[in-house]
Amino acid sequence: MAAPPKSLDLKSIWLFSNCNVSELKKIRTLFDEVETVQWHVLVEEGEPGTEFFFIVRGRAVVSRKGRIVATLEPDDYFGELSLLDRKPRSATVVCETDMDLLVLSQRNFDRLLRTAPTIVNKLLRAMGTRLRESDTLAYP
């Protein structure tokens, strides 16, 4: 795998937006580097979600009910809600090209929550902000 991007800004990911620099460094160490090949299914709609993905290199397509709804490229991410609610995936994501990814597993995320309780409050605040933004869009 190519070297992970030094400019990876976890703060730009809404889930980690309230974390300070030292917390972000701790979180970054929990990501695994993963290489995948073209047409590999990363996540499947309806299956349990147990990982968060950050795209370093490559491109993926997102489909719902068999219909393509988005294309993901470097610096895009997906799967963060599954770390929080452990609900089934709402879409299927397939590698359109070979890809390099940073992956945060449910186990590493849970370990972070157990060992760094101050981060839990920050994640809750980020979730609240995200919910308010969604509410504003749904009910202007």
Give the pLDDT confidence of 66-91 residue by residue, as tens digits: 999 999 999 888 888 888 888 899 99
Give CA 19 to chain center in angstroms.
Answer: 16
- pLDDT > 70 in the chain, percent: 94
| Residue linked to tokens 């300070």 | 20
Contact 102, 33 (CB under 8 A): yes
Beta pairing, strands 92-95 & 60-64: antiparallel
Rounded to the nearest integer, the mean pLDDT of the chain is 86
pLDDT for position 119:
83
What's this model's pTM, rounded to 2 decimal places? 0.81
All domains of the chain in start order, with CATH:
31-125 (2.60.120.10)
What is d(CA 33, CA 18) in angstroms, rounded to the nearest whole number? 24
